[in-house]
Amino acid sequence: MRVVIAGGGYAGLTAAIYLRRHTPQSHVILIDPKPFFLKKTYLHKTVHLPLSYFCLPYAEIARKFGFLFFKEEIDLRADKMEYILEKNSIPLSFGELSFDFLVLTTGSKPYLPFPVEGQRFVTLREVENGNISTIIKSLLPGSVITLIGGGATSLQFLGELLFVYGKKFHYRLISDQDQLLYPLPDFFHTYAQAFLEKNSVEYLMASKVTRVQDKRIWVTNQRDSEIKVHDSDLTLIFTGLKAHPKCFEADVFGRLLYNKKFYPHIFVAGDCSLYPGGNNTLSAQAAVRKGKKVAQNIMHHMRGEKLEPYTYEELGYFVSLGFLQAVGYLFDKRFFLSGPLAYFIKEIAEAQFDLFLKGWDVFIT
């Protein structure tokens, strides 16, 4: 049986490795436009560490686990998608690639809800290209760094900046929500707010950015509709993610539902997927579990066994705020952890995937 996996993020790589470990007779092919897997949960550390620290070549992983890797961009626009579904074959640069099973794990891309012009801004796309540390090092002392977005990505980048550069720069954080780290429990906001105040970070809540142009940011206060323009030497835009190239609906087993039609041999997982149950957050935690469930269900399908529904719920969530600083919960949202203990738990949780890439499956399901 040939299984083609389109997308080599956390979900796709998990599915490929799991299938090869448990069905060695299967022919697994992983396709991704990039030559390396990027550990995106560590991206905030690239403010001072080279991106290469967090990259693993797909070719090496493929050799280790015995699957094939092709560096290709798959066209999933509507007309191409219809062809793939009808023919059970994917057009690639070297010809047609047929499949018995297809897994769509194409991931997500940065969501930009306002127009952006100029060169003094950074999104996750630029971070993934390895440019952020060079840009930051070029800033003069006292420069203003603005982070747009009050979610985990912004807070983790801010924490790392403060840990590495201290108060060399003036930091500003802008959120369109009334709470930081919304919609996480209130203690996340309380802890993060205290962290900002302790480090003299300027923060604007309930403030909607409407435009970024070079070193200027247009902000509307959502409480009184007042518009202000703020200067910024560098703007980091972390306003969330959206499924790429689109959000694919699935049934409870991860099988594709497309244009009201069900495809039993095509599965979806990761940030580009929406299941009717379980955790659908755009996170590595959910992506890994979806990838593993899809792999298990393909194996069940091969053996004529009953498929298992995806019911995974979040086991915990942690946000780092620099070295030895973090906040989060484990198993129960009523009880939160903070400081060095929370930091080490987060590091241990992220190390699970590193161990998985070494051949040890230690994920709690």
Where do the domains of the chain lie? Answer: 2-109+242-314, 112-239
Domain 2-109+242-314 CATH superfamily = FAD/NAD(P)-binding domain (3.50.50.60)
In order of 165, 226, 288, the CA distances from 235 in angstroms are 16, 21, 31
| Nearby residues of 127 by Cβ (< 8 Å), 6 or more positions away | 43, 46
In order of 146, 177, 271, 309, 320, the CA distances from 352 in angstroms are 33, 32, 19, 23, 17
Is 2-109+242-314's fold the same as 112-239's? yes
- 239-241-244 Cα angle (round to 5): 145
In order of 77, 104, 230, the CA distances from 81 in angstroms are 6, 11, 44
Q: For every one of its 365 residues, what pLDDT tens digit does the chain have, with 9 covering 90 and above?
A: 899 999 999 999 999 999 999 998 899 999 999 999 999 999 999 999 999 999 999 999 999 999 999 999 999 988 899 999 999 999 999 999 999 999 999 999 999 999 999 888 999 988 998 879 889 999 999 999 999 999 999 999 999 999 999 999 999 999 999 999 999 999 999 999 999 999 999 999 999 999 999 999 999 999 999 999 999 999 999 999 999 999 999 999 999 999 989 999 999 999 999 999 888 999 999 999 999 999 999 999 999 999 999 998 888 999 999 999 999 999 888 889 999 999 999 999 888 888 888 888 766 55
Between CA 267 and CA 253 the distance in angstroms is 8
pTM for the complete prediction? 0.93
For the domain bounded by 112-239, which CATH number is listed? 3.50.50.60
